[in-house]
Structure 1
Amino acid sequence: MLDHSIITDISNNGGFVNDDNKGSTAKKKQQVRRVQNVVPLFISHILDCTDEEFNLCGMPVQIASVVGVLRNFEVQTTKATCIIEDNSASIKAIMWLEVDNESVTPALPPVKENCYVRVFGSIRNQDDEKILMILKMLPVDDLNLITNHLLEIVQTKLYAERLAEGRLPTSDVSMASTSTTTDNSEGLKPIQVRIINLLKPIKTKSGLSRSEILQHFGPQAREAEVALDFLLDEGHVYTTVDTDHYKATDAD
């Protein structure tokens, strides 16, 4: 889980939904929350896309996952800026910071400049330049993750190309999963851990539907539904064939 609260509801203007408008935007925020998917990409894929809304071979992408070297990491009062560089290209990235109520020092992810990081972010156009708005950034402690990321990119692009050519039914398309640590040491609630453990062994491309998940919780179904939305916001689960089917990002 994140050391600082960063994955929230993303507004259409490239920022974050203002909590002051919760009453008028609650329904919209609920819809936005459930359409986030995570797609592994090369940075060149982002830069080469000329469409206003980023897509991969016509397939919409809500959250990009990139692995690269962290360069020029500069921390300011409310945000951090950096360059993420992989073997294909480099891109400017911005991460908004949250300051603890008891401290004036912003909470930062445990990353180091000139080391590999894994970044989850949304893609924005700013002054005719593509920017990666960081939702989550993690250090890469195992170099096998880099190889795995490359394989995920190849697999996802093949699916997108086949879909664009009409050679693959939409129902067979699933975003390649992305790995995040989901053990109890991160402070997840027991019901959140139960949902993750329920999804981890699922091997089908579609995963489990919301109703299939909730039926395991009986009278706790409402609490489980809130927990499922939280896990989706935090990147522990992701949507697959539609907005009501889920898989764990850290699948077995």
Structure 2
Amino acid sequence: MDGGFGGGGFGDYNTSNGGGFMTGEGGGFSSQSPADAGIKRISTVTPVCVKQVKDAQRGDDTSFIVNGVAVDKVALVAVIRNVQQKATRISYNVEDHTGLIDVMQYLSGGDDEEEPQVPEEVAQNREGRYVRIVASIRAGEDDSKRLNAFLITPIDDHNELTYHFLNVVYANLVSSHGILGERKLGLQAGQPRGSQPSQAGMAGQGMGTATNGATAFNNTPMDTGLPRNLQAVLNVIQTEGSASETGVGMSTILDRLRPQGFNEPQIRSAVEELLNEGQVYSTVDDDHFKSTDD
């Protein structure tokens, strides 16, 4: 039995038609270099399946082209088939029934020769467990693809498996028809989706369960798609945290945002949601954060 979901979960999902990226709210597509003229770029987290990652082509910089769009970060839902632990990193081999791929998650400190000291939350990611992964795509010299994970979280609700693949398919529809097609479906950028799949859920599966229509990913400070408290916290982490390897401390975030009318519970709740979304990550301790865009 895989992760308590009866050994299946994905069924015979067909990836022949591809898909797997979303337009960001408030203008998720950004400009491209002359070398990639005609290639759109996505700065949000892109829902994908393993096959799409393995078929991705190199972009002009660190990005990869998925179905004609340059993506920086991707979200994947898969079951762990193998785990190899060292002090500074954990290597996973994961499968989503469209293929197998290696995922690398780096840990803070340590030496490869030392006995692994794995954080408790990371230790939950064991073989046979379904997980949600937010990561960047990397390629070896032979062009084989792997993922460098920012966030790996266990999945306890099997509905999230179906939800993720619906997001991948839906993303393909949006990519095919563009913003106009999205608006024809009544999904105006920046508006709540109600019961329809949100770009937030599609963007990373990192915002709770499939029934949770949270906010959209967009890592640009000028984006207005996020709720005001999340956008304010993200802006501080991006601007203050980029200058230091340890990122920005919670005390600094509080100092910057209290004058703007935010109280401490609102700020801490926003940080927690951004962590769950995979937009930020903790560094030296639980009170220092950096943006995954850095």
When the two structures are superposed, what TM-score results if normalisation uses the length of structure 1? 0.56
Q: CA RMSD in A?
A: 4.0
Residue among 44, 52, 58 paired with 2:51: 44
In the alignment, does 2:96 pair up with 1:86? yes
Conservation of the 8 A alpha-carbon contact between 2:44 and 2:72:
yes
Residues 1:86 and 1:65: Cα distance change in structure 2 (over 3 Å): same
Give the unaligned 5+ runs of structure 2. Answer: 1-41, 191-198, 217-223, 233-256, 280-294
Moved more, 111-120 or 35-44: 35-44
The secondary structure found in structure 1 opposite 2:126 is: coil
Q: Which of the numbers 130, 136, 143 marks the counterpart of 1:116? A: 130
Q: How far off is 1:220 after superposition?
A: 3.2
Between the aligned partners of 1:134 and 1:116, the Cα distance in structure 2 is 15
Normalising by structure 2, report the TM-score. Answer: 0.49
Q: CA deviation at 1:116?
A: 1.4
Q: Count residues in correspondence.
A: 180
Distance in 1 between residues matched to 2:125 and 2:274, nearest whole Å: 22
Q: Secondary structure at the match of 1:180?
A: coil
Distance 1:137 1:218, change over 3 A: closer
Q: Which has the higher contact order (CA 8 A, sep 6+)?
A: 1
Partners of 1:142 and 1:168 lie apart in 2 by 28
2:204 corresponds to which of 168, 171, 178: 178
Q: Secondary structure at the match of 2:204?
A: coil
Counterpart position of 1:125: 139
One-letter amino acid of the counterpart of residue 69, structure 1: V
What corresponds to 1:143 in structure 2?
Answer: 158
Instruction: Determine if the alignment matches structure 1 residue 68 to structure 2 residue 106.
Output: no
Contact 1:56 1:157 in 2 (8 A): no
For 2:117 and 2:66, locate their aligned partners in 1 and report how far apart those are by CA, in whole Å. 38
Taking structure 1 as reference, are residues 168 and 59 closer, same or farther at Cα in structure 2, changes over 3 Å only? farther
Cα distance in 1 for partners of 2:182, 2:207 equals 31
Report the counterpart of residue 106 of structure 1 in structure 2: 118
Query: 8 Å contact 2:74–2:204 — kept in the other structure?
Result: no
Q: Is the 8 A contact 1:57 1:161 kept in 2?
A: no
1:220 aligns to what?
260
Distance (whole Å) between structure 2 residues aligned to residue 81 and residue 91 of structure 1: 11
Secondary structure of 1:69's match? strand
Q: Aligned partners of 1:177, 1:157: CA distance in 2, in Å?
A: 13
1:234 aligns with 2:252: no
Separation in 1 of the partners of 2:144 and 2:275? 27
Unaligned runs of 5+ in 1: 1-34, 183-198, 239-252
SS for the counterpart of 2:58 is: coil
